[in-house]
Amino acid sequence: MKSWTKTIVLPADQPAISIKAQLISWQVPRRIRGNFRMERRILLNDCYQPTSTLLKPFDRVQMTWLENDFITPDSHYLPDDSQVLDVLFENDDFMVVNKQKGVKTHPNSPGEDGTMMNFAQAYLMKQNKHAYMVHRLDGQTTGALIIAKVPYVVPMLNQMLRDKTIKRTYLAWVDGVLNDNSGVIRLPIGDHPTNSRLRKINGERAKNAVTHWEKIKTVYQHTLVRLNLETGRTHQIRLHMAAIGHPLVGDDLYNTQTNVTGLLLHSAAVKIPIPFSTQIKSIGAPLPVSFPTNIK
């Protein structure tokens, strides 16, 4: 059975908390914490200790995950090295890459290639690792995309997204002049009743969705805005800005008046707590040439 082992040397300022409390702090899921304990797959300084044991500075904590700890223990994306992956940040567990315009995040069928996950799979094969999807960006959206390199950080990163400890910042050009300097949009998003490609405000099975926006500048009849997401619903930014009368420039789904080809939406930065540490990293993605600094 395939396994993954991670050894952490605790820092000099390590608080005197229990192994259990440390695992909770690291966002290790409860079920996996139970597996660690029952199967003695967590070692402290090379020996198994009860999870009530208090930790000290420079202790070594070793965790071993097995395939049956995960719903999807392995990924099966076809490797595709036809495009070079632009890596903005990486460590042993995950990376942030710069997604290109017009490239899908992931395949929709088993034999499909040409997506960011295929490019990541080819890149990670050289490290004897695999690509695991954490979140997605629409095909026309550019910028920072988080990809896991090992399965054990996927639930941790997903929990950070749910807890909003991962902060995502976007830039977008929208139609019209925004009178206020900032605002918050709180409109539930659900399925569209007749078109599976679309989503709808207060649609079927609607879920809570919250978007914060801030005006950067207005040029002619368009406004550049900075957006931060509290939730990550499909098409959230596109739907929310259209709902307040300022659809995204180039949005062929929710802006029927646009005369610009290609969505002007960029994932500008992610601020992410580094798993198994107290470090928080801000990772920016440079603006692509397709995203103008001014617009007519």
Q: Which of 69, 80, 138, 175 is catalytic?
A: 138
Place of tokens 């495009």: 83
- How far apart, in Å, are the Cα atoms of 235 and each of 34, 123, 180, 191, 198? 37, 28, 23, 11, 8
C-alpha 271/C-alpha 68 separation (Å) is: 31
CA 261 to chain centre: 26
Q: Is residue 138 annotated as part of the catalytic site, yes or no?
A: yes
Which run of H or of E encompasses 123?
A: helix 116-125
Beta strands in the chain (DSSP E): 3-9, 42-44, 47-48, 60-66, 87-90, 94-99, 132-133, 142-148, 167-175, 182-186, 189-191, 199-201, 204-207, 210-219, 222-229, 265-273, 280-284
Reference 113, options 102, 104, 101; nearest CA is 104
Active site residues: 138
